[in-house]
Structure 1
Amino acid sequence: MTRNDSGAAPAGAGTTSPGEGGQQRRTIGLVSLLMTGVGTIIGSGWLFGAAHAAGYAGPAAIFSWIIGAFIIALTALTLCELGPMMPRTGGMGRFAKLSHGSLVGFIGDWAGFVGFTSTVPSEASASVQYMSNWDYPWAHELFSSQTQSLSHTGLLVASLLCVVYFMLCYWSMQVFLRAVKAVTIFKIFVPLFSAGTLIYLGFNASNFSAVGNGSIAPYGWSGALTAVTGAGIVYAFNGFQTPISFAGEAKNPNRTIPIAVLGSLALCLVIYVVLQVAFIGALPPSQLAAGGGWSGLDFRSPFADLAISLNLSLLAMLLYLDAFVSPSGSGVIYLASASRMLWGMERDGHMPKSMGRLHKHTLLPRPAMWAVLAASIACLWVFPSWDELAAVISVGYVIGYLCAPVAFISLRRLAPSAVRPVRLPFAGVLAPVTFVAVSLLLYWSSWPLTGEVIFIIVAGLGFWIYYEAKTGFHDIGRQLKAGAWFPAYLVTMAAISYVGSPRFGGLGLLSEMGSFVAVTVVSLGFYVWSYRSAWLTPEAAQLDAGAEPGTG
């Protein structure tokens, strides 16, 4: 379908979302939206997250999942108000663009796009890593224990899996939705069944105090905090925002989006906590002692390895099967979501026009899908390890989350008359608390990871500068004034991480408590700056007048 500036749907297009610069049918109901959320959250994170979190924090990893879910729920709440206000397909940056203009919107969308695109190969990598434990010589060659990464053969297999994800998204939305529903039911059953079996047949309560100082937190609570991002917990939960990225194609988005977002997050928190308890309890005490404690554990296929150690061969086979199903289901959804983020960036004028082109029959952004596939495979070969990808992706997601509370509170001031199907109470408290909590997540990620990912995000500003130059830097003064706080915030947070507590990778110029105080005070300062720099963009004015942004 060609682009249509009037926002009107061509004859026969069915129910559409206006103002998309290319029309979409609203075909996704509540169950499908909920399934996309749950189906994305339960991916490779459950296969590896419990083992990696235990390595960082020991039994205190249970609290890491709860802390991570709580902070993400704060972000999710702000999005539950923002999403139904403007049910359009795209990433979180589209909300920040309404309140702060193109610079902040681009950074938010770029962070989300990098995270979602990188997640596609991480899901494929997880499947291949589990496959490498099959009892066949050729399978053992897929993963190198020495480098803790996929071999060249493993990378080729993972690349083929990325192509399979692409094909499931490419043909039609209905094929995509049918695949998601079928896979998600299986993905819910297997983790719960596995956890229940391990708890019933191999639970050792003594593991919860067997190592270190005899407490549930043998490495201190800093380990539990670092695990939130470093062990892939944020990575595991990030699928909560997937229903929002399909808002432009959702039926009755005012009701279905909040239910799908919060419902999928709550359900998956229960599943992840049960899995973490099962992993800690099922680990043979002799293996825990032989490894030198939780930090010395080394699993190629964590839950399958545990099942084999307990002579549960049938459970191990089920886990090997799910190691394809769970990551693949998430990989399909992330590829579809990333293509829609790329499409949204083209609508904002910061990507080639081809990225916004819809196929005339399926109404899917196929050129954007091809671009995501190419970027995913390239990322896989640059970062051939699930561990590396999960940590980097988590920090990228966290940076994108910052857009939500900023846009949420700013639009309360700029567009007070906008229709808000979901209006949250205590907005003046929720927004700054969320901003500070997300900033702490960023700091807990630990140096040098924080600096590396912030560099990637800042480097992406080259795209923004290039496309702004093509328009003659239209209204550049206002864009910079409204958006300067975001790059300044990222550089400042990198500096605090660098000089912060050694427990979080810093030089030790700040104590652990001093670092927390510094992050809290600095982030509140930037929150105030961001709030005061927000301005009534043309899109926000349209929203306040009751019109869909981008129409008329």
Structure 2
Amino acid sequence: MEQGKFRRKLSLLDLTLLGVGSMVGSGWLFASQTAATMAGAIAWIPWLFGALAVMLIGLVYGEMAAAIPRAGGFVRYPDYTHGSLVGYMIGFASMMAYSSVAGVEAEAVRSYASSYIPGLEITQGSATNVTLIGNLFQIALLVLFFLINYWSVQVFGKINTIVTTLKFVVPLLTIIILFFSFHPSNFTVNKATPGGIHGAMQALTAGGLVFSFLGFRQAVDFGSEAKNPQRDIPRAIVFAVLLSTAIYVLLQIVFLGAVPHDMIANGWQAISFKSPFANLMETLGLGWMAVIIFADAILSPSGTGNIYLAGTARTLFAWAKNGYFYSVIGKIDARTGLPRGALWLTLILSIVWTLPFRFSMWSGLVDAVTSATVMTYMIGPVGVTALRRTAPDLKRPYRLKGLHIIAPAAFICATWIIYWAGWQTDSLLIGFTLASLILYFAFMDKDAESRQRMKNEWKSGIWLIVYYLFIAAMSVLGSFTNTNVYHIVIPNPWDTIIVGVGGLVFYYWGVASALRVPRIADESEAEEVQGANYAGATDSSVQA
């Protein structure tokens, strides 16, 4: 395959809507109810914490992405700053988390489409199963996403802009309509906060709140295709998070206020709508609005799934460029400027996630996806701080003020989010990631040069392995453990305090463990190349 280059076609509006479009998907349709059952009347507060955490992480990545715009940057930056071991582990976690979302969103579309299209699901007793036609419907939807991405990035960007604009209308209309059914007394009902602060923490992951913000990374992943990445990437991240936060917080508040008082007489945990906002509209006698929400429930996840399929391809491309996957996945089609090999693999992985097994449904996967994705985000604050020391001459069009405060705060927030996912989720993700190191050693054992590189760089990655083990141990001992199996040894809030202090220690350990000379690859991935972005770079510090 002739090696091509990415095309710089995406504007600030395109990048912002990529972020908003991937955030406002199935999350807004489910998360308000799950947060209410866990945190009750204070369910709007964890939305603010989630937004703050994501904004801190996004600001940190904004500096790095503006200085080093790369396709799949979240996967490539750890390799630049900490070498192969960290780069591999972050890449593996990112691949698992990212590749699942397009398939899960396709599941959400199929679920809501079953209200209009008969034969997609069959109910047997209390269980609902997907039919063969339903599975084929999901696969057809993923193929459609694939074809949109396969044509060109410009077609993809324009279609996404249109879809995202339409996706704004229904949530905003929902907010306005439910405001007229608002009951302030709902915030003072008996058992108004069923889970208290602990429930609010748990809602961040298990409730799908942080999951609803994870799409902010799109501006970074599409960095090589932005018209003006140095200026637009940081702005797009900030705009996308702020817009999404406003929508989510308002949706949560009007949901809490519009639920009929008699339905929460015994507490918020009694709420169990199958389709929260649509069913709430039906309960309030607004059937026409319920129909609109059901229609949007097909459009919103479709738009998000389309974006994630494109973003996953960039992630796989980046992993291959780092040398941890087959080289054909790291090729760019010369005619279209797209990583078509990575797109094909993304399609296959997305279809696999839609096959019938435990984690293929939204409710079963959201906790794992959130924790796995944040496991890839927490390296950003460490990497950016390390680059300030190891690459002082790196040109930084956007230099984050207060990095010495924002970066450790972002790392601690990310650590808390991973921990709050609980033992059942963290044990699976951390165990699987550490077990995958077998593949790392296999790929790094291919030649003498790779073996020497692995030997030289393992010290830069040992902190991350210990960090994962620390989170796993606290997940067993703390208040987010599986109480059906283990006893809580460290109660709340002491467990959260210990995890926060431990996170700070690992942050500084990670910064100190960075490569003395970062391996920033100066690759001309875009057609409009402005030259090396590393002032005074030599062959030893910038590898082609």
> TM-score, normalising length from structure 2?
0.92
Give the secondary structure class of the aligned counterpart of 2:210.
Answer: helix
| Shift of residue 308, structure 1, vs aligned partner | 1.3
What do residues 474-509 of structure 1 show as CA deviations (whole Å, max 9, x unaligned)? 322222110111122112101101111257856311
Which residue is 1:104 aligned to? 86
Aligned counterparts of 2:130 and 2:521: Cα–Cα separation in 1: 51
The correspondence for 2:295, drawn from 321, 328, 332, is 321
Q: How does 1:259-270 map to 2 (within 5 A)?
A: 259-270=235-246
Which residue is 2:304 aligned to? 330
The correspondence for 1:87, drawn from 69, 73, 83, is 69
Amino acid at match of 1:210: V
What do residues 500-548 of structure 1 show as CA deviations (whole Å, max 9, x unaligned)? 1257856311011220222122222212221111113452497654559
Amino acid at match of 1:79: Y
What do residues 431-487 of structure 1 show as CA deviations (whole Å, max 9, x unaligned)? 222111111111111221121122232233333222111134232222211011112
The correspondence for 2:430, drawn from 437, 449, 454, is 454
The correspondence for 2:145, drawn from 165, 169, 177, is 165
Given that 1:358 and 1:366 are in contact with CA atoms closer than 8 Å, whether structure 2 keeps it comes out as yes
Answering whether residue 102 of structure 2 is matched by residue 120 of structure 1, we say: yes
Aligned counterparts of 2:264 and 2:115: Cα–Cα separation in 1: 20
Given that 1:47 and 1:303 are in contact with CA atoms closer than 8 Å, whether structure 2 keeps it comes out as yes
Aligned counterparts of 2:381 and 2:125: Cα–Cα separation in 1: 42
Aligned counterparts of 2:536 and 2:188: Cα–Cα separation in 1: 58
| Shift of residue 180, structure 1, vs aligned partner | 0.2
| Shift of residue 358, structure 1, vs aligned partner | 2.2
Q: How does 1:186-225 map to 2 (within 5 A)?
A: 186-200=166-180, 202-212=181-191, 215=192, 217-225=193-201
Given that 1:143 and 1:151 are in contact with CA atoms closer than 8 Å, whether structure 2 keeps it comes out as no
Answering whether residue 467 of structure 2 is matched by residue 489 of structure 1, we say: yes
Alpha carbons of 1:151 and 1:395: their partners in 2 closer, same or farther (altered >3 Å)?
A: farther
| Shift of residue 379, structure 1, vs aligned partner | 1.6
Aligned counterparts of 1:42 and 1:471: Cα–Cα separation in 2: 45
The correspondence for 2:215, drawn from 239, 263, 283, is 239
Which residue is 1:355 aligned to? 329
Answering whether residue 475 of structure 2 is matched by residue 475 of structure 1, we say: no
Aligned counterparts of 1:145 and 1:120: Cα–Cα separation in 2: 29
Alpha carbons of 1:360 and 1:39: their partners in 2 closer, same or farther (altered >3 Å)?
A: same
Which residue is 1:10 aligned to? none
Given that 1:84 and 1:422 are in contact with CA atoms closer than 8 Å, whether structure 2 keeps it comes out as yes
| Shift of residue 413, structure 1, vs aligned partner | 0.5
Q: How does 1:141-540 map to 2 (within 5 A)?
A: 141=121, 146-147=126-127, 150=130, 153-200=133-180, 202-212=181-191, 215=192, 217-289=193-265, 292-381=266-355, 382=357, 383-472=359-448, 473-501=451-479, 507-537=487-517, 539-540=519-520
| Shift of residue 57, structure 1, vs aligned partner | 1.0
| Shift of residue 304, structure 1, vs aligned partner | 0.9
Pick which of 459-468 and 275-284 moved more: 459-468
| Shift of residue 145, structure 1, vs aligned partner | 8.1
What do residues 264-295 of structure 1 show as CA deviations (whole Å, max 9, x unaligned)? 00010000011111211221223334xx5322
Amino acid at match of 2:196: G
Aligned counterparts of 2:41 and 2:114: Cα–Cα separation in 1: 28
What do residues 233-284 of structure 1 show as CA deviations (whole Å, max 9, x unaligned)? 1111011110110000101111110110010000100000111112112212
The correspondence for 1:31, drawn from 13, 25, 31, is 13
Aligned counterparts of 2:382 and 2:479: Cα–Cα separation in 1: 28
Alpha carbons of 1:50 and 1:509: their partners in 2 closer, same or farther (altered >3 Å)?
A: same
Aligned counterparts of 1:302 and 1:335: Cα–Cα separation in 2: 26
Given that 1:500 and 1:515 are in contact with CA atoms closer than 8 Å, whether structure 2 keeps it comes out as yes
Amino acid at match of 2:492: E
Give the share of equivalent positions with the same residue, in percent: 35
Given that 1:144 and 1:151 are in contact with CA atoms closer than 8 Å, whether structure 2 keeps it comes out as no
Amino acid at match of 1:2: E
Give the secondary structure class of the aligned counterpart of 2:119.
Answer: helix
Given that 2:419 and 2:471 are in contact with CA atoms closer than 8 Å, whether structure 1 keeps it comes out as yes
Amino acid at match of 1:30: L
Q: Supply the RMSD in Å over aligned alpha carbons.
A: 2.2
What do residues 73-129 of structure 1 show as CA deviations (whole Å, max 9, x unaligned)? 110110111101101111413122121111112222222222221111111111222
Give the secondary structure class of the aligned counterpart of 2:69.
Answer: coil
| Shift of residue 301, structure 1, vs aligned partner | 1.3
Q: Which stretches in structure 2 are left out of the alignment for 5+ residues? A: 523-532
Amino acid at match of 1:326: S
Given that 1:485 and 1:530 are in contact with CA atoms closer than 8 Å, whether structure 2 keeps it comes out as yes
| Shift of residue 360, structure 1, vs aligned partner | 2.7
Pick which of 90-99 and 386-395 moved more: 90-99
Amino acid at match of 1:95: Y
Give the secondary structure class of the aligned counterpart of 1:2.
Answer: coil
Pick which of 471-480 and 55-64 moved more: 471-480
Amino acid at match of 1:443: Y
Aligned counterparts of 1:293 and 1:503: Cα–Cα separation in 2: 24
Aligned counterparts of 2:178 and 2:123: Cα–Cα separation in 1: 26
| Shift of residue 384, structure 1, vs aligned partner | 3.0
Alpha carbons of 1:260 and 1:143: their partners in 2 closer, same or farther (altered >3 Å)?
A: farther
Which residue is 2:525 aligned to? none
Given that 1:98 and 1:537 are in contact with CA atoms closer than 8 Å, whether structure 2 keeps it comes out as no
Alpha carbons of 1:335 and 1:2: their partners in 2 closer, same or farther (altered >3 Å)?
A: same
Aligned counterparts of 2:124 and 2:536: Cα–Cα separation in 1: 57
| Shift of residue 204, structure 1, vs aligned partner | 2.2
What do residues 4-50 of structure 1 show as CA deviations (whole Å, max 9, x unaligned)? xxxxxxxxxxxxxxxxxx41111111111111111111111111111
| Shift of residue 361, structure 1, vs aligned partner | 1.5
Alpha carbons of 1:462 and 1:125: their partners in 2 closer, same or farther (altered >3 Å)?
A: same
Given that 2:420 and 2:480 are in contact with CA atoms closer than 8 Å, whether structure 1 keeps it comes out as no
Aligned counterparts of 2:125 and 2:221: Cα–Cα separation in 1: 37
| Shift of residue 315, structure 1, vs aligned partner | 0.9
